[in-house]
Amino acid sequence: MWKISLSTIKDACAAAKNYYPDEFMCFLGGNEKKNIINEIVLVPTTNGEEFSSVWEGVIPIDKSILGSLHSHPGSSARPSEEDKKFFQKYSINVIIGGRFEQNDCRFYDNRANPLKIEITD
């Protein structure tokens, strides 16, 4: 089971709130062997009210980057067809919905299947 630190979730939710009404996008770093996510990795992104995107050339070549995270302002945290395609590249993917609170976070694997996550201190 994947574990994610509470501080990482709180930081991501705060960033999503700051980007509103645009989507927020970042990457998640941690330790794949221990299934731990404990950092947000920021890279230059293009953001709008109904999209976020990244040119993959700016993503560091770093084995600690394990997943993606983006927000869906004002809507559900269900993945779109474009999200599902993007998710294929990462072990864990997070969508933060509507209110940008911890309970609005949904976690998915690389096939857009829901994941159970343990939130740690």
The Cα 69–Cα 12 span in angstroms is 8
Is the per-residue pLDDT at 109 higher than 80? Answer: yes
**Beta bridge partner(s), residue 4:** 37, 119
Is the per-residue pLDDT at 98 higher than 90? Answer: no
Which amino acid makes up residue 20? Y
Is the per-residue pLDDT at 53 higher than 90? Answer: no
Is the per-residue pLDDT at 54 higher than 90? Answer: no
pTM attached to this predicted model: 0.92
3 state SS of 96: strand
% the chain with pLDDT above 90: 77
pLDDT digits (tens, 9 = 90+) for 7-38: 999 999 999 999 999 999 999 999 999 999 99
Look-up of token digits 């600690």: 64
Is omega for the bond preceding 21 within 30 degrees of 0, making it cis?
yes
